[in-house]
Structure formats: structure tokens, C-alpha cells
Homo-oligomer: A and B are copies of this chain.
């Protein structure tokens, strides 16, 4: 079971969120401020916490700070404004995601799902991606070429798995950076090339599975499309 703590002083928002997420069969606990939230956290453990920034008493930042003292629970912050300063402060304090008010419940739910998935709260569905003689076991994070197991570095694996899951689609280097490295990563786009290079090296005879899309980026040639 997935248990989520929603902390917001506005009861309308609390009700709205729980109502529109009924289809997900998550268990919601609600708190109106940071103090209440911390009390609940002593009693229960949560898969995810949603924290409003502006609250009377202990606000969202203070609560987040306390939460991070002894846990890595995924946290989504609700900020009134979408200001750069808030985002930076939040990342520094260890928030995992953001939503600016007003938001649509649909969006919040989508982000909850994404974050739960990322944190591994859902049992990963065992899925094996096949392409020619390449087999990618996504739950084991293991890649086989014919009968040999390849030893890929984490980045190499993530990059390969991401592209192989979307065969036939061309990605720009920036898209790959966003999806594989993370949305807030800043750095040289050519870094992607380096990892593509070492991937191709390890793929050996199947190196052609990763095609260069000139002027754009790369594409995994998987035969089967989505």
C-alpha cells in the first residue's frame, strides 16, 4: 500500500487532491500545518510527502528541513509562486519536485506518480527489452549481448535503457540530458557523445543499434515500435 502525507492549511485543497486521486487507491493522511505533520510522521511511515510552503506555525521549509534530518522520503513542494529563488532554496533543502499554485489536480497526480516511480515505491515490473541479440532486463538493470553479460556503468545503463525503451525515436542531446541526467542538470551536451561512444564500444557487433541522427542527436533502432 502506498501512503501519502498531504500538508496544507487550505482544507479546500486537501479535499480536492484526495477526491481526484481516488482512482489511484493511495492512502492519504492530511495535516494542516508542519507540527501536525511531524506528529503524524512519528506514528506512520510515508512513501511521499506533499508540503505547502505557506502555512501558519511551522511552514513548508521548516518542515522540510526537519524531515530531511532523518529521512529520504520524496517530497513535493507546493509554492504560491513559481519563483526561481524558491526553487533554489527548495533544492538546497532537498525537495524532489515542485508545483506552483494554482495547479491542476491532474498535474499533481501525474507528478506524484512520477516521483513514486522514481523512488521505487512501485514494485518495478519485470520487463525485458529485446533488440536483435541485445536483452535489457530493466528490473535487474542487467544487459546481455547474446549470452554475455555486459558491464555497463550506471550512466551507460540509464542512457541505453531510456533510448531502448523508445525505439525509433530521435532524441536531441538536450532531451537525453533532461531525461537521463535529470531536468536540473547543466553541462556540456557533448557529454552525451562520450557515453554513446563507450556504449557503442561495449555493444560491439550490435553497435549499429544506436544510430546517429545528424544535426539532432541519436536514435535507438529497435525494430518494433511502441
Chain A contributes a number of interface residues (CB within 8 A of B) equal to: 40
Q: CB distance B214 to A123 under 8 Å?
A: no
Across-interface contacts of A118 in B (CB, < 8 A) = 107
**Could you mark each residue 25-36 of chain A with 1 if its beta carbon is under 8 Å from any beta carbon of chain B, else 0?**
000000000000
Q: Which residues of chain A from 153 to 167 have any CB-CB distance to chain B below 8 Å in the complex?
A: 153-155
Bound Cα distance from A175 to B120, whole angstroms: 11
B residues within 8 A CB of A91? 16, 20, 104-106
User: What is the oligomeric copy number?
Assistant: 2
Q: Flag whether A96 is at the interface (Cβ < 8 A).
A: yes
- Nearest opposing residue in chain B for A155, CB measure: B215
Q: Among the listed stretches A50-58, A133-141, A199-207, which one makes contact with chain B, having 4 or more residues with CB under 8 Å of it?
A: A133-141
Within the complex, which residue of B92, B170, B175 is in contact with A140, where a contact is CB–CB below 8 Å? B170
**Which residue from chain B places its CB closest to the CB of A225 in the assembled complex?**
B126
Known: A16-B91, A140-B168. 11 other contacts (CB 8 A): A20-B92, A72-B110, A91-B106, A96-B106, A96-B107, A107-B118, A123-B169, A139-B169, A139-B170, A141-B216, A142-B168
